[in-house]
């Protein structure tokens, strides 16, 4: 009895015999090329999504910094009796030793450190509290805005205000308000001058810029300026 395969025409018998063959080199190259293109496209999309995510994180961080800084300065200034602006945290006096005076910035001048002074309610000549804010830049001009607060009990005479401030050696150790964090660097300095401006000895105009720069060198930096004014109650 003849087999079923023997009954098939020779042409069909040859085709059936070749159904178990593998891929040709050309087919493998084409498949590899298509797979590589798809992988590169997916990887590029993933990188762009990560860059966009990090940039949006920077923007959210900037908005948070500005809100925190604005709210805190506004609250502090509202209850302060007066303010003093210094060139920076370390520059406090001018004049010869023994006859030095406070090196404050007058009307129309600006500096990178502001002091809010709270008087003793029962004695205007004495001070019960000082709160200060200052910019602490690095060599590139980027760095945190720091804060310090000193309370005095009993209250002290406010004749030589500079003697009541924290030691200059605490420049880099006071708490920060606008930080230079691990995801980038933020600065609080103004691009056109110092951070705090004396407006007619009545108000403090704050004009600064916050910059977040990625450490990976890929994400574009996020920059935002901020402007606001605070006034002690007097």
179 pLDDT above the threshold of 90? no
Lowest mean pLDDT among 46-50, 169-173, 201-205, 225-229: 46-50
Q: What pLDDT, on the 0 to 100 scale, is given for residue 2?
A: 54
18 pLDDT above the threshold of 80? no
Q: What pLDDT, on the 0 to 100 scale, is given for residue 77?
A: 96
164 pLDDT above the threshold of 90? yes
Q: What pLDDT, on the 0 to 100 scale, is given for residue 144?
A: 86
User: How does pLDDT run across 84-122, given as a tens digit for each residue?
Assistant: 999 999 999 999 988 999 999 999 999 999 999 999 999
Query: What's the whole-number average pLDDT of the chain?
Result: 85
**Sorting pLDDT into bands at 50, 70 and 90, what band is 129?**
very high
Mean pLDDT of 21-37: 85
Domain locations along the chain? 53-230
- Counting residues of the chain whose pLDDT is more than 90, the rounded percentage is 47
Mean pLDDT of 4-27: 61
- Counting residues of the chain whose pLDDT is more than 70, the rounded percentage is 85
**Sorting pLDDT into bands at 50, 70 and 90, what band is 151?**
very high
189 pLDDT above the threshold of 80? no
Highest mean pLDDT: which range of 66-70, 119-123, 230-234: 119-123
192 pLDDT above the threshold of 50? no
Lowest mean pLDDT among 15-19, 69-73, 92-96: 15-19
Buried b (16+ CB within 10 A) or exposed e, 124-133: eebbbbbbbb
Lowest mean pLDDT among 98-107, 134-143, 167-176: 134-143
232 pLDDT above the threshold of 60? yes
């Amino acid at each position: 009895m003849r087999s079923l395969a023997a009954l098939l025409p020779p042409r069909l018998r040859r085709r059936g015999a070749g159904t178990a063959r593998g891929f040709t080199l050309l087919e493998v190259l084409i498949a590899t090329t298509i797979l590589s293109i798809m992988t590169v496209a997916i990887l590029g999309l993933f990188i762009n999504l990560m860059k966009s995510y990090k940039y949006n994180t920077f923007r959210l961080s900037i908005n948070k910094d500005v809100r925190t800084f604005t709210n805190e300065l506004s609250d502090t200034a509202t209850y302060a009796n007066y303010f003093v602006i210094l060139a920076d945290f370390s520059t406090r006096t001018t004049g010869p030793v023994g006859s030095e005076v406070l090196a404050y910035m007058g009307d129309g001048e600006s500096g990178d450190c502001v002091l809010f002074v709270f008087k003793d309610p029962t004695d205007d000549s004495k001070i019960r509290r000082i709160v200060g804010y200052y910019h602490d830049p690095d060599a590139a001009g980027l760095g945190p805005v720091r804060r310090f607060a000193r309370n005095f009990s009993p209250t002290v005479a406010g004749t030589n205000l500079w003697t009541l401030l924290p030691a200059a050696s605490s420049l880099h150790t006071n708490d920060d308000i606008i930080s230079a964090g691990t995801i980038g660097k933020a600065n609080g300095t103004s691009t056109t001058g110092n951070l705090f401006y004396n407006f007619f000895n009545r108000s403090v105009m704050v004009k600064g810029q916050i910059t977040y720069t990625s450490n990976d060198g890929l994400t574009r930096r996020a920059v935002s300026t901020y402007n606001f004014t605070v006034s002690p109650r007097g």
